[in-house]
Amino acid sequence: MLVRRLARPLLGSMFVIGGLDAVRHPDAKSPAAQGMVTFLREKTSVPVPDDAAAVVRIDGAAKLVAGLALSLGRAPRISATVLATSLIPTTLAAHRFWEAEDEGSRNMQKIQFFKNASMLGGLLLAAVDTEGKPSVAWRTRRAARRLSRNVGHAAEAGAEAAVESAERVARSTRKVLPG
């Protein structure tokens, strides 16, 4: 569909540009990432490198690859999921408007925070877009219902065949052994 061919590259473009910048210049983003690295190391069991610049590079590479894949329509649902997952800690680390000291900085960070929140909404829509095809969950439920129905029909047919066989045996026994 034409809308998907336009929307995916538009949505992915920010991640391609931002990811490339993070890979090439991680030191500019490292101070903001340090808080998230410390949080993840202390509060979760997620293995995270000590070096914030390495984390920024890894995150940038993930955004670059997933942004390109989304833009090209390659594994768009997986790509959108990767981008959404990566965008959440990035937003929480880099756009903490509630901690800004001056009004101008607070407003700028608030705009960036909600821009990322809007992009997250687009990514969530892209992650669940099945392009009009049934989802895996729907196909699985449908296959299970069909299998259940077929097993039920087979059981009924087997029971009917058993009854017919028993009746045939009884009839032939009566012919051989009269009364």
- Both 101 and 152 in one domain: the answer is no
Report whether pLDDT(172) > 80. Answer: no
Same domain, 155 and 108: no
Residues 63 and 120 in one domain: yes
Whether 88 and 104 map to the same domain: the answer is yes
Same domain, residue pair 143 and 163: yes
Kindly state whether residues 105 and 32 are assigned to the same domain.
Answer: yes
Q: Hey, what's the torsion of the CAs at 154, 157, 161, 163, to 10 degrees?
A: 120
Cβ neighbours of residue 76 closer than 8 Å, sequence gap 6 or more: 4, 8, 69, 70, 126, 129
Looking at the structure, tell me whether residues 69 and 98 fall in a common domain: yes
Give the structural domain span for 60.
2-128
List % helix, strand, coil for the chain (3-state, nearest 5): 85, 0, 15
Q: Looking at residues 157-176, what average pLDDT do you find?
A: 80
Confidence of residue 44 (pLDDT cuts 50, 70, 90): confident
Clarify whether residues 78 and 97 are in a common domain: yes
What confidence score (pLDDT) does residue 67 get? 97
- DSSP H/E element including 16: helix 2-24
pLDDT-derived band at 115 (thresholds 50, 70, 90) equals: very high
Is residue 36 located within the same domain as residue 122?
yes
Q: How many domains does the chain have?
A: 2
- Classify 100 as helix, strand or coil: coil
